[in-house]
Structure 1
């Protein structure tokens, strides 16, 4: 298997996003991805074991880069309230900037097989830990209440952000996700603050 770097690898990942967003995961044949990436069908198999591996790698690459950006940004923001705002803002900004990626991550990943879901779950855990750290920092600094469960709060945050993006996609992206940042933050803060 070829090293998972370089122009062809990136071209295949980007092509997979476009093809899966357009046709859906189950109709996105490797040949369509290869054609979109302007590579031979066999080239896909130099980098990926199969179509599931393409999807897992796509999520790992894109979500991994996003999580790294979030971690870096949040490390420069001292206030847990501002960290929570930045987390929501970055999530929405990232997906609003790439509608096709949003379709793949919000709709198509959920229709994949259990092996893909398991691998994606491992990647997603890193993001959930970021959310946990924001909540824990808020509790430790006395900004957020001590009497709620961090896991429940994290599920509420992730679930709200996730559903907001899914609803946005289902409504053909007709409004700005960025306009939702402050109302969602306000909703969280009403439940979290001491």
Structure 2
């Protein structure tokens, strides 16, 4: 074991490659042991490097945790935006956002757990890069809701921050059993039920003027067809 570690130490790596290697090891150790029980020495052993090497790139264990979660969040946002690029319609976008969030939790329960329990409640969170990334992440949802309001699809009297908190807070609470390895987390079922429930509460019912407008359009189309048919017979 020692020989293998020494052999790996002798291999020179670019700083970004070394950091990636350390972060992969840290994620594994944090996930298995939890943040409090994890140690820099164990992470170094997992990465096959000296403990001191980690301190060349990271100030301490907390700094390493935040970087690991930050890179996950950055990838999450990039995937989020990519998945929405070809989605048309406010309701379809709304459903896609909810589905993507559920999928993210299910795909990375270890990092979701670390973010919920070790990062977000800490004193340094609101001054961190992760806080700004989280604001950017949830802003995607509020932008879609505001788009629906501008298009006249959603009620203008609802609070976008309230809807945001209901969705993300509700999903976090619902996922707690899954993150504790006590229950399953059905992506399709939860997406369907939550998106339909919230949308029904936000959507504007068709107004009488909308109904009248549609009836007039159908009547005009029918008259046009009759006129064209009459001309053809002449």
Give TM-score, length-normalised by structure 1.
0.86
Q: What is the rounded CA distance, in whole Å, between the counterparts of 1:64 and 1:178 in structure 2?
A: 24
Q: What is the distance in 1 between the residues matched to 2:20 and 2:151? A: 42
> What CA distance in whole angstroms lies between the structure 1 residues aligned with 2:135 and 2:74?
11
Structure with bigger gyration radius: 2
Contact 2:149-2:156 at 8 Å conserved across structures? yes
Corresponding position of 1:170:
180
Shift of 1:122: 2.3
Unaligned runs of 5+ in 1: none
Superposed displacement of residue 39, structure 1: 2.4
1:110 is displaced (CA, Å) by: 4.5
Q: 2:124 — aligned with what?
A: 115
The aligned counterpart of 1:62 is 72
Match of 1:179 in 2: 189
Cα shift readout 1:28-82 (whole Å, capped 9, x = no counterpart): 1111222222222122112211111111111210011101111222232121211
Deviation at 1:172, TM superposition (A): 3.2
Distance in 1 of aligned mates of 2:49 and 2:90: 46
Matched residues, number: 191
Q: Which one of the candidate residues 11, 16, 23 is aligned to 1:13? A: 23
Check the 8 A contact 2:69/2:111 in 1, yes or no.
Answer: no
Question: Structure 1 residues 124, 47: closer, same or farther in 2, change over 3 A?
Answer: same
Structure 2 Cα separation of the partners of residues 179 and 19 of structure 1: 32
Partner of 1:130: 140
Distance 1:3-1:84 versus aligned 2 partners, 3 A rule: farther
Counterpart position of 1:34: 44
- State how 1:72-151 maps to structure 2 within 5 Å: 72-110=82-120, 113-116=122-125, 118-119=127-128, 120-151=130-161
User: Please, which runs of 5 or more residues in structure 2 have no aligned partner?
Assistant: 1-12, 205-234
Does the aligned pair in 2 maintain the 1:93–1:177 contact within 8 Å?
yes
Distance 2:162 2:193 in 1: 20
Normalized against structure 2, the TM-score is what?
0.73
| Contact preservation (8 Å) 1:106, 1:166 | no
Please tell me whether the aligned partners of residues 136 and 150 of structure 1 are also in contact (alpha carbons under 8 angstroms).
yes
